[in-house]
Structure 1
Amino acid sequence: MLLLLLLLLLLLLLLLLLLLLLLLILLLLLLLLLLLLLLLLLPLLLLLLLLLLLLLLLVLLLLVILPPPPPPPPPPPPPPPPSPPPRLLLLLLLLLPLLLLLLPLLLLLLLLLPLLLLLLLLLLLLLLLLLLLLLLLLLLLLLLLLLLLLLLQLLLLLLLLLLLLLLLLLLLHHHPHHSQ
């Protein structure tokens, strides 16, 4: 009886472990879905960043190109016209290294981020496979415990039958002596 109770407790514990593993698998699937969403959203976010940078550059260029409202100048000295182009050229010369630095970085991000997310997805898939293997092992353990339960019951039945046979033999052996 104690053995049967212990085996039943083990079965209950294994069932609880199976439930926990199923919950873990569900959580990992949710993480996979979130990562796929990130994979879809990341290029859009990078494009938005690029557009924002371009807008900032355009605003800076407009600020440089458009001259400030000049005060009424005296008529005799003619102002030199090539004064705005140097400012524009200076700004372009200042912004070109920044652009040359930013564009490769953004391209690298565009290339590397999906690769990193794919690696994460592969790792999560491996974890899922491991959890499925654990589930299979637990199911095998459950089956083994059920088989052990059945074998124990059969052994108990056999023992009972043997005891009954021994009792019958003893009774049969004891009765003829009395008759003599």
Structure 2
Amino acid sequence: MLLLLLLLLLLLLLLLLLQLLLLLLLLLQRHLLLLLLLLLLLLLLMLLLLLLLLLLQLLLLLLLQLLILLLLLLLSLLLILLLLLLLLLPFDAAVTASTAAATTTTTATPATAATAAAATAAAATAAAATAAAATPAAASPAADTDAAARLLWLLLQLLLRLLLLQQQLLLQLLLLMLLLLMLLLLLLLLLLQILLLLLQLLLLLLLVVLQLLLHCYYYYYYS
């Protein structure tokens, strides 16, 4: 938008200068040298404006396009790394089943995953308690320590699965955010291309206006 406003201001300035030049030409009809000098100045001004527009087009729009392409390249590399992390994480069947159930339900949040893990932990503790109650009272202390070790091992496994599930959800959120950012950058690149086309159209219109003014002046002078 700033470039478009700058081009419009340049176009207005050019039209004002052309009006002043035409007034001077009308006042100086009999002096051929001055008329030739004014024509040369007008042509030089047109060339300078063309060079300025080309510089703006090359320096700003192309640099922005290069920056957006570099950002897209970095985001694509980061996306590939996240996908590799998702593939290399050691998920077992229970974790994948729990993630599939969490994604199919509408309330698939980390809180529901935590409650499910807590429910499985409670079931495991209840199973361990019933197993301990089922053992006879005259059992040896080694059996009690074995049951306690199994219970601790089950709790550690559940905690590890919960942490892995949360990591997978965070990675999925990061992937979604990266995809949205890449889409926004692609839209910005498309807008820059449209702006580039508009600049080219304005440049062509400027050339047409200048040519028409020159033809009008030639027709007026030689008639």
TM-score past 0.5 threshold: yes
User: Aligned partner of 2:67: which letter?
Assistant: L
Do the aligned partners of 1:21 and 1:135 also contact (CA within 8 Å) in 2?
A: no
| CA-CA distance at 1:102 after TM superposition | 2.5
Where does structure 2 lack aligned partners over 5 or more consecutive residues? 1-50, 96-137
| CA-CA distance at 1:135 after TM superposition | 1.7
Q: Of the candidates 42, 46, 49, which is equivalent to residue 91 of structure 2?
A: 42
Q: Which gives a bigger RCO, structure 1 or 2 (Cα 8 Å, sep 6+)?
A: 1
The match for 2:183 is: 132
**Counterparts of 1:96 and 1:37 in 2: how far apart (Å)?**
35
User: Aligned partner of 2:91: which letter?
Assistant: L
| CA-CA distance at 1:23 after TM superposition | 0.9
The match for 1:9 is: 59
Q: Deviations over 1:12-41 (max 9, x none)?
A: 2133123213312321331232132134x2
**Counterparts of 2:144 and 2:209 in 1: how far apart (Å)?**
98
TM-score, normalised via structure 1 length = 0.60
**Counterparts of 1:134 and 1:19 in 2: how far apart (Å)?**
8
The match for 2:73 is: 23
Q: Percent identity?
A: 60
Counterpart check, 1:109 vs 2:160: yes
Counterpart check, 1:149 vs 2:200: yes
Do the aligned partners of 2:86 and 2:171 also contact (CA within 8 Å) in 1?
A: no
TM-score, normalised via structure 2 length = 0.50
Do the aligned partners of 1:4 and 1:149 also contact (CA within 8 Å) in 2?
A: no
| CA-CA distance at 1:134 after TM superposition | 1.6
